[in-house]
């Protein structure tokens, strides 16, 4: 019998992606999409691409008989929502905000950090999952094998993100005329995702205390995150490839490429591709994802699959946009 | 038991899209992908986004035991291929070139024009299908209901196409530096798709002899086709909506929108959206598609589904890119 | 002695372009830039590209000793401004809004329509100028020679505009995530510029009463307007070229190209390029401009040059962006 | 009396920019543009944006009576050209290739490295100039003040470049369909500009031996280079601003911004903007330029101005594209 899922905060970008994925999920039925401001309107009134795909309406009611609820709310809003709303204990929560990524709990609910490549067994047993940040996912997947091997030291990381990472609010830096053909940076060396990254890495390499230097760049494209990290490393390129390939063996969405990668290989998919280079004493790791899929709602569905005992890849074999 | 499909010319854009769709098709197995120049290489050596999805290799052999073969060859090449290659009579052919769209045949093979919204019953019974052109699909879907009602007269059409419409060959007009932020036109009033469009329309409205004026515009984006057509029409807006809605009832991919549409509603899907406006005595019809999906390989799969007696939408419920 | 100019509404896009042009004008000094909301701030606080070019501040004062004032205000705001503000009679007004394009006047001030290719002699003698609309400029320049020859009949026009045409306000259709790679239309067959276009054309061909069918398209690039118009015409292509070339002889910014044109030939310049095609009985006219330069502030400076007796091209020999 | 200039290799991107700049230069006449393959054709046959600006033809002759010749040839081609061509000793050479940036000479001609902010006095006295690389210019301008103060140590640099940096040749990574909305890297930690950068920096800080780690990123826009560098530094932010501001005082094109910068502030200008941030013990330096102007042909004209004793900014007060 199909599992049933609900979405809270279904009018935003991650909510919309969760809807798109669940509508086509073979084993899960989208039971409701909650949005106070849009209650009564069809989903396609907000997500215009859904016209012809579903006639479901947004609702202001919460159905506590579902198996799982996705929280697609702003940072700080998820915790507030759980504090003030009655959700049946039996319902699994997958939270896409940053509210529970560092071990926080609410009303006795505890959350497992939902990076399957680091934590799959724990996620399978978890009742609730804190879905990782978009940058955090791509950066961590580039570094996990090194951390497990105890090889991390000071890391230098550049990340270029698409505009969807900033959500749908209107702002000077989201104006088309400004952003088209433009590049800028923000939160240089201070991005909030550094905390959850360090937490995972130290879980694997407890002695790791090197700096994580991260330069986030606003790209002039809508979707995707490109990460390049480098650090001092004695491994040869072949050894490094061996380390990464064996680490990700059995993980269906993370693949190591021996050829040069480019961002559009993964856009609109749940995949992460990793490519390595060795230049003198430094190992360079490139890792790429779609920030809204593997970096948000796709990974949330992957976590749901694990939590509910479904096939990990169910509903996530997505056609790449490529071009 | 799953049907089996092969692809000829799998290294190009439409071949790549056919591969992507068939790899995820629930009822069809991708048996082989033929490419002389790439034989022996993995598909992902050419279509880098397929890394992690399949280890299939290109082949120079043709397996005549498949149920269906897609010809993803250049215009003129499809006919030549069928003339010089032994394909078992039992194998269905879906040809994506323009070689058989006007009633041409080869070695006794006849082709039904594969626009399901016009021809579904004939396609179901067809052995071979000539898949429509990308512009032709979107323009026809904007005009079919009027033709059936005998209301066509001189039509004025603008179409804006993404760069994938021009294929993967390198040329001055495909250079990023030239095309980014640029607009230009080509084949103004003389585009080759006008013939197949007129043929279909006259099938529905035999007396139709008005001019089809079509201005094709090169857009500065990779995927999608936007069509705006207008003509003199006495119908009220409500009557026109009624005409279109009832015409497309039962067609799973073509939908009429009462709200303003925009191209990204359909990118990376097999859908066509249509929107109508009435300004004084003129009816304006907007119709949009992804040129590589509904405009090429997606429609080819839709035609395969019909030919093989599968569900029309099988393998074609695609996640939109939206952003 | 240098002429002196002021700008009202200097914080918007057209105000910014007027500033950029006047800062480098060899014969005119930028005396003041008025903006109520930004008074006291440096120009580069709003127009960040001006950092290093000028330390001028926005002011809330109006200096009535200048030779000319540019009104870079919203539609409706220009008239209101002139009704409620004391501007010395001696000051020339160049208004970039649509408030005075159809013959309107205010407090005895009359305005000449500022399309130099149609009206140069009148502009030279004018005290005030109503600067044409961006679409209106490119469409008219594509049709003027035909109108003068009495050859206009029903015209079919497509126009693709960059996002700067919609100004700097934040809106759903100006959001980068929405607009990137997207196409849509607006005000189909009803665009407000049709009035000023018809007025000019009827001035040249009084009997002209054919329809002007105009489909405005939102492009996914910031700058530029592409226009394609076509109509029935008995001229041969050679005759048409001769008509256009001789019409624009002596006009320094409008040129006829015998090769295919593309939009980026004129971006960031004050030029208009025109290309002709003949297909059976129809003449096709392509015309392109930068909507903020020849379509707005550049043409305003051109009009200022004419009004003040300066060289028509002064300050307007601009380096193209090309790429 | 106007100086006279010639261009060798006028059909490429940097040649085209040199033409555009010299056509509008107040003190220099463009005497000839040499291109073997295009001899006899008008410049606008190759640089279509020049239609209406000039009727000059490409020539296969070299006029040795000019004051200065710009070599806009490929790397390796410039040296070969000078070895095999008779250029009068009196003619100044400004070479845009990398052939003479590291102290190389040819037939007795020596070249001064043409970074005016580092070398202005030497350039003024130079007979020939080796114009810096595009990345090299932006990176060096971000580091010069630190080098002069002896504060350089290991530097971590990310650079994002527009597609024009790769020239006009057709290649997989210059195909619009591939590059639009895409990100990739190349020559990570091994870019050839590192040599000329290190050479200049060691000229100012001879003991500097720290690593220069540079990650070059292909951006999906045509023009501009964004650089972010960081390093350990004890200066406070205020001290750093003071250091940079006083270093660049008197340099007309390099400006220090106290506000966040973005790439489009400098596109189509000869300016470089620099912004500083301090995060714990690290100083972050952002520096931006137009790769074809300050990163190539604009700086070449600036060097010409210095060599010929003209105003440093002559012909280089360019209207920004901004949008």
Mean pLDDT value across residues C134-159: 98
Measure CA A46 to chain center.
Answer: 22
Cβ-defined contact of B13 to A323 (cutoff 8 Å):
yes
Average pLDDT over chain A, rounded to whole? Answer: 97
Cβ-defined contact of B175 to D170 (cutoff 8 Å):
yes
Tokens 């929280």 sit on residue: A71
Cβ-defined contact of A13 to B321 (cutoff 8 Å):
no
Contact status of D230 with chain A (Cβ, < 8 Å): yes
Rounded CA separation D17/D19 (Å) = 5
Domains and CATH numbers, chain C: 3-110 (3.40.50.720), 134-292 (3.30.360.10)
Chain B nearest-CA distance from A72, in A, is 18
D170 to chain B: which residues are within 8 Å by CB?
170-172, 174-175
pLDDT in tens, A89-138: 999 999 999 999 999 999 999 999 999 999 999 999 999 999 999 999 99
Cβ-defined contact of C176 to A179 (cutoff 8 Å):
yes
Q: Which subunits sit against B, judged by 3+ Cβ pairs under 8 A? A: A, C, D
C156 to chain B: which residues are within 8 Å by CB?
156, 213
A218 strand-pairing partners: A161, A184
pLDDT in tens, B101-148: 999 999 999 999 999 999 999 999 999 999 999 999 999 999 999 999
* Structure confidence at residue A105 (pLDDT): 98
Cβ neighbours, 10 Å, residue A260: 13
Contact status of D170 with chain B (Cβ, < 8 Å): yes
Rounded CA separation B70/B86 (Å) = 15
Cβ-defined contact of D24 to C319 (cutoff 8 Å):
yes
* Structure confidence at residue B1 (pLDDT): 72
Contact status of A156 with chain D (Cβ, < 8 Å): yes
Cβ-defined contact of D277 to A184 (cutoff 8 Å):
no
Mutation pick from B15, B17, B52, B174 vs chain A, by most beta carbons of A within 10 Å, is B52
Question: Do A16 and A23 contact (CB within 8 A), yes or no?
Answer: no
Q: What sign for the dihedral angle of Cα B291, B294, B295, B298? A: positive
Rounded CA separation B184/B191 (Å) = 15
Cβ-defined contact of B292 to A323 (cutoff 8 Å):
yes
A292 to chain B: which residues are within 8 Å by CB?
323
pTM: 0.97
Contact status of A322 with chain B (Cβ, < 8 Å): yes
Rounded CA separation D104/D95 (Å) = 12
pLDDT tens, residue order, chain D (323 aa): 799 999 999 999 999 999 999 999 999 999 999 999 999 999 999 999 999 999 999 999 999 999 999 999 999 999 999 999 999 999 999 999 999 999 999 999 999 999 999 999 999 999 999 999 999 999 999 999 999 999 999 999 999 999 999 999 999 999 999 999 999 999 999 999 999 999 999 999 999 999 999 999 999 999 999 999 999 999 999 999 999 999 999 999 999 999 999 999 999 999 999 999 999 999 999 999 999 999 999 999 999 999 999 999 999 999 999 99
Rounded CA separation D183/D169 (Å) = 19
Q: Is the ipTM of this complex over 0.90?
A: yes
Catalytic residue positions of D, numbered = 134
The residue length of chain A stands at 323
Contact status of B264 with chain D (Cβ, < 8 Å): no
Rounded CA separation B243/B236 (Å) = 10
Does A134 participate in catalysis according to the annotation?
yes
Rounded CA separation A21/A19 (Å) = 5
Rounded CA separation D88/C103 (Å) = 63
C168 to chain A: which residues are within 8 Å by CB?
175, 177
- pLDDT bracket for residue A1 (50, 70, 90): confident
D175 to chain B: which residues are within 8 Å by CB?
168, 170, 174-176
Chain A nearest-CA distance from D223, in A, is 8
First to last CA, chain D: 38
pLDDT in tens, D217-273: 999 999 999 999 999 999 999 999 999 999 999 999 999 999 999 999 999 999 999
Mutation pick from A160, A164, A183, A187 vs chain D, by most beta carbons of D within 10 Å, is A183
First to last CA, chain A: 38
Contact status of C27 with chain D (Cβ, < 8 Å): no
D181 to chain B: which residues are within 8 Å by CB?
222
Give the pair of three-digit tokens for residue C101. 């394009």
Catalytic residue among B126, B134, B273, B283: B134
Question: Do D224 and D264 contact (CB within 8 A), yes or no?
Answer: yes
Strand pairing report for C282-289 and C225-232: antiparallel
B184 to chain D: which residues are within 8 Å by CB?
none
């Amino acid at each position: 019998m199909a599992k049933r899922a609900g979405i809270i905060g279904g009018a935003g970008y991650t909510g919309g992606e969760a809807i798109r994925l669940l509508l086509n999920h073979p084993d899960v039925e989208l039971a409701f999409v909650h949005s106070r401001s849009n209650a009564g309107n069809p989903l396609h009134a907000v997500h215009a691409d859904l016209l012809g795909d579903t006639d479901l309406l947004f609702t202001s009611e919460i159905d506590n008989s579902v198996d799982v609820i996705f929280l697609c709310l702003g940072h700080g809003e998820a915790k507030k929502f759980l504090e003030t709303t009655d959700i049946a204990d039996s319902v699994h929560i997958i939270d896409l905000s940053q509210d529970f990524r560092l071990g926080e709990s609410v009303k006795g609910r505890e959350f497992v950090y939902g990076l399957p490549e680091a934590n799959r067994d724990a996620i399978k047993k978890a009742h609730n999952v804190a879905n990782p940040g978009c940058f955090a996912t791509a950066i961590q997947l580039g570094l996990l094998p090194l951390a497990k091997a105890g090889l991390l030291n000071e890391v230098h990381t550049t990340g270029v993100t698409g505009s969807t990472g900033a959500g749908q609010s209107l702002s000077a830096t989201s104006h088309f005329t400004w952003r088209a053909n433009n590049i800028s940076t923000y939160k240089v060396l201070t991005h909030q995702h550094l905390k959850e990254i360090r937490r995972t890495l130290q879980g694997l390499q407890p002695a790791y205390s090197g700096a994580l230097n991260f330069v986030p760049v606003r790209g002039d494209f809508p979707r995707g995150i490109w990460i390049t990290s480098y650090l001092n490393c004695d491994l040869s390129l072949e050894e490094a490839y061996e380390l990464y390939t064996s680490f990700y063996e059995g993980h269906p969405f993370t693949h190591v490429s021996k050829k040069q990668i480019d961002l559009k290989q993964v856009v609109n998919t749940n995949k992460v591709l990793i490519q390595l280079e060795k230049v003198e004493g430094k190992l360079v790791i490139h890792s790429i994802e779609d920030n809204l899929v593997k970096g948000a709602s796709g990974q949330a569905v992957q976590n749901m699959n694990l939590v509910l005992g479904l096939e990990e890849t169910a509903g996530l074999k997505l056609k790449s946009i490529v071009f």
